[in-house]
Copies of this chain bind each other. A is one copy, B any other.
Amino acid sequence: MATATSPHSLLLQKNPNILKNPTTHSNGFPVTSVRTNTNVDVKLISIKCAATTTPHIQDRPSAQTQSQDRVFNFAAGPATLPENVLRKAESELYNWRGSGMSVMEMSHRGKEFLSIIQKAEADLRALLDIPSEYAVLFLQGGATTQFAAIPLNLCKPDDPVDYLVTGSWGDKAFKEAQKFCKPKLIWSGKSEKYTKIPSFGELEKSPDARYLHICANETIHGVEFKDYPNPKNPNGILIADMSSNFCSKPVDVSKFGVIYAGAQKNVGPSGVTIVIIRKDLIGNAQGITPVMLDYKIHAENNSLYNTPPCYGIYMCGLVFEDLLEQGGLKEVEKKNKNKADVLYNAIDQSNGFYRCPVEKSVRSLMNVPFTLEKSELEAEFVKEAAKEKMIQLKGHRSVGGMRASIYNAMSLAGVEKLVAFMKDFQARHA
């Protein structure tokens, strides 16, 4: 649908040979640049003149389109946001819906901002079908702050808890927990460079662990849980850091005691952390818990105990609205699976020129790490891609190689362009 109107898709339709011979547009889309630039200018002006009105997101190009003045941003987070959401934010920045204020200027206790945060929560509850016995908290400090908040709120200092570590983030969570309880590392993929998830049968889970912690998607290593283990302790709960695949697909929230996520991958800018927690788990924080890390304080005050990151919450709300308008997370998951298939297939069909180290069954739909057989070409690959407006493809410094993060807001057109470039690059360097 919307992809059909994407400048890139048009380019492909008009030139079926392009994927076979991408060099014809390797210098920045000469084929369509003039026409699309015109489109862009027209769009810009129409939007400007509506700057003090409040256009519906539907009036904006869908997340599958891309203006030519935009780069394709494959960053792992902060990451690309839906163009239509950015346009709406632009149109409302100076004067939010006739309030005479920017959202950045609003009292967090005023009726305007209350309407924003309440709608954001309602839309998120609709997206993830969050049961009423769960609280939704909009906090600060990133997932790294939750690495401490989780044990501080759910454990006494001597409580045993289990950590299943499938990448760097899970490992950081495990190490931070050592300050506040007795975490056990029940499995680590480190010796295999974090390319696997074990079969749940072979896990040596503690019978009395207060919780079992996982990182649902490892941003750096590209390892994603496709289903979830259960704690051995019948009273134990499952806790997941979903920072890098939050709202990328439907999730059965009722399987978890706590889900937490930094917003800056799939749902907004950095500076907002979302915690979804079963209400009966709230209220048992250790005495040394800083008040800002105590879930009870935030739950009792509807995330308004102190001044929340108001503008970031507003942006998340615009993204939630957009995800609902796309048809909800089932539709979003379809798009994400399609994008990931296109990219992983290109890697697997490159006769080893490109390689993804991650075991196929647990490859992430969000973060795709890959290496070049001729590793000496990797710097050149990243440099040439950047020349073609595909940026942030360098792998994390801890693993090297390349990484393409293809979150919700990365269009199929962006992935198609990357794949076309990869084939061209291979043709020129094979």
Q: Which residues of A contact B (CB under 8 A)?
A: 44-45, 47-49, 51-52, 69-71, 73, 75-81, 86-87, 89-90, 93-95, 99-102, 104-108, 110, 140-145, 147-149, 152, 176, 179-180, 262, 264, 268-272, 287-293, 305-312, 315, 389, 391-392
Contacts and interface: CB of A to CB of B under 8 A. Distances in A.
A307 B141 contact: no
Nearest to A315: B104
Q: Which 3 A-B pairs have the closest CB atoms?
A: A48-B48, A271-B309, A148-B290
Contact of A271 (B75, B86, B95, B310): B310
Contacts of A100: 69-71, 73, 389, 391
A306 B144 contact: yes
Given A104-B78, A306-B142, A290 B176 contact: yes
Contacts of A80: 101, 105
Nearest to A409: B105
A307 B77 contact: yes
A179 B293 CA distance: 13
Contacts of A142: 140, 292, 306-307
A31 B334 CA distance: 58
Contacts of A93: 86, 89-90, 93
Contact of A311 (B270, B290, B308): B270
B310 A311 contact: no
Contacts of A306: 142-144
- Please tell me how many copies of the chain the complex holds: 2
Contact of A147 (B108, B291, B308): B291
A29 B261 CA distance: 48
Contacts of A310: 78, 269-271
Nearest to A305: B144
Interface of A is mostly: loop
A106 B141 contact: no
Contact of A75 (B89, B106, B179): B106
> Chain B CB within 10 Å — which of A76, A81, A270 has the most?
A270
Contacts of A45: 48-49
A94 to B, nearest CB: 5
25 contacts: A47-B48, A51-B90, A71-B100, A73-B101, A75-B105, A76-B107, A81-B104, A86-B94, A86-B102, A90-B93, A104-B268, A140-B142, A144-B292, A145-B290, A149-B290, A152-B290, A176-B291, A179-B289, A179-B290, A269-B310, A270-B309, A271-B308, A290-B290, A309-B312, A311-B311
A80 B110 CA distance: 13
Contact of A78 (B44, B106, B268, B315): B106
B269 A311 contact: yes
A288 B291 contact: no
Contacts of A107: 75-78, 392
Nearest to A176: B291
Nearest to A286: B288
A80 B80 CA distance: 29
Contacts of A148: 290-292
A105 B105 CA distance: 22
A144 B291 contact: yes
Contacts of A309: 140, 269-271, 309, 312
A223 B141 CA distance: 30
Contact of A49 (B48, B94, B305): B48
B291 A180 contact: no
